[in-house]
Amino acid sequence: MASLDDVARAAGVSTATVSRALSGRGRSSEATRERVRAAADALGYVASATASSLASGRADNIGVVVPLMDRWFFARVLDGIAASLAPRGLDVTLYNVTDDPDQRRHVFDVSLRRGRVDGLIVLSVALSDDEVAALQTLALPLVGLGVPRSEVPALRVDDEAVGRAATEHLLALGHRDIVHLGHTVAAGDAAGHALDIPTLRRRGFDAAMADASASPRFVDVDFTVEGARQATLALLDESDPPTAIFAASDEMAYGVIAAARERGVAVPGDLSVIGVDGHDLAPLFDLTTIDQFPHAQGERAGEAILAAVDAGASGSEASGPLPADPLAAGPLAASPGAPDPGASLPFQLVRRGTTGPPPAPREEISVPEDA
């Protein structure tokens, strides 16, 4: 295996010059950098991560705290984050958090304190007060994505607007008997209620239904295909089933479609279905959905943490955790070109074949009385 000394001899420069040229830090001419890179490539030299970290004070690594690593949505977001970080040569370390209190405590109190990352992205994790406090003491640039805590500066989709857009699409088609399948946090849970994603979607649904003078119907279910399937079977067995269902995720919408098939209910002839996410399989199911562009969300989060890390490395006052107000001066706000974490991320209604006008009301058949 080639060493730094081997590269220096091949390029005809000092080891210090090789270190500066390969790290991009310090002064060296473009011609020297090209000569050093060419020598390193020819020798197959790869800098030791440990040595580089000791020399630069940076780990060239970004940590990502993520729940439910087996879920499609988070996989797409992670792919977007990696796509942003890879061109800069940064690695990604995943910290999976579960519902196990001991496991979560170890992540926040031990794993994240080992100094292995230069910045941290937190994805849609419902954080406790203690976990928020632990993040604030890390002295690391921090970017959230859909995190339901105001103390964590985060990039967010306007999920209330998402819920309204999905509902207004159904209302515009003529539906009034609409059921929303989702989840909501208890109003007493002040820590998560205001920014909880499913709760915000329900709020948008309720507002759109109220504007149309229609009565909202809500069913609280698990965010799973099976949970939505079971709930839909029960709805379709009612004497007066809904004409449309707004599922809070595309995977839940698949469960609705499966239940309709089991009951012989035509979609969209008898039942319209709309989901949220922009799932890769949505075109296969011909599913009308609100696309959140999860890959692009990941790219934006990656760009934001890079800007925050760069601001800290430049010696600005922006190093360390971001302020509670995402629009206040801090790594993202102070770094030129950094995404504004206070701005909403985009979403778009994608019309496909699972939504249409409601079925015509059944005519009552009158039986003439015997003469």
**Residue 22 maps to which CATH number?**
1.10.260.40
pLDDT value of position 261: 97
Q: Is residue 130 part of a domain?
A: yes
Positions of the chain with pLDDT lower than 70, given as ranges: 1, 23-26, 45-59, 186-194, 312-343, 362-371
Based on the domain organization, do 164 and 264 belong to the same domain? yes
Residue 176 is part of a domain; what is its CATH number? 3.40.50.2300
263: Cβ contacts below 8 Å, ≥ 6 apart = 233, 236, 237
Q: Is residue 351 part of a domain?
A: no
Q: Is residue 348 part of a domain?
A: no
β-bridge mates for residue 200, sequence order: none
Q: Is residue 318 part of a domain?
A: yes
Based on the domain organization, do 306 and 236 belong to the same domain? no
Based on the domain organization, do 69 and 84 belong to the same domain? yes
Q: Is residue 369 part of a domain?
A: no
Based on the domain organization, do 100 and 246 belong to the same domain? no
Based on the domain organization, do 71 and 97 belong to the same domain? yes
Q: Is residue 312 part of a domain?
A: yes
Planar angle of CA 293, 296, 302, nearest 5 degrees: 145
pLDDT value of position 2: 72
pLDDT value of position 47: 61
Give me the torsion for CA of 340, 77, 53, 143, rounded to 10°: 30
**Domain coverage including residue 32:** 4-56
Name the nearest CA neighbour of 143 among 346, 345, 347: 345
Based on the domain organization, do 76 and 152 belong to the same domain? yes
CA distance 246 to 227: 14
Domain boundary among 263, 292, 321: 292
Which sign does the torsion angle of CA 117, 81, 92, 102 carry?
positive
The number of folded domains in the chain is 3
CA distance 194 to 4: 54
Based on the domain organization, do 257 and 187 belong to the same domain? yes
CA distance 313 to 317: 10
| Residue owning tokens 């925050």 | 308
Peptide bond into 198 cis (omega under 30): no
CA distance 201 to 130: 27
Based on the domain organization, do 288 and 169 belong to the same domain? yes
Domain boundary among 56, 80, 96: 56
Helix (H) or strand (E) holding 310: helix 294-313
Residue 139 identity: A
Helix, strand, coil % over all residues of the chain, rounded to 5: 45, 15, 45
Got the DSSP string for 113-132?
GSS--SEEEEES----HHHH
> 299, 306 in Cβ contact below 8 A?
no
- How many residues does this entry show for the chain? 371
Based on the domain organization, do 298 and 149 belong to the same domain? yes
SS3 305: helix
pLDDT value of position 195: 79
Q: Is residue 97 part of a domain?
A: yes
> 251, 227 in Cβ contact below 8 A?
no
> 11, 35 in Cβ contact below 8 A?
yes
Based on the domain organization, do 190 and 281 belong to the same domain? yes
Q: What is the DSSP letter of 111?
A: G
Q: Is residue 10 part of a domain?
A: yes
Q: Six-digit token pair at 201?
A: 């979607």
β-bridge mates for residue 61, sequence order: 91
CA distance 260 to 253: 11
Based on the domain organization, do 164 and 282 belong to the same domain? yes
Based on the domain organization, do 129 and 172 belong to the same domain? no
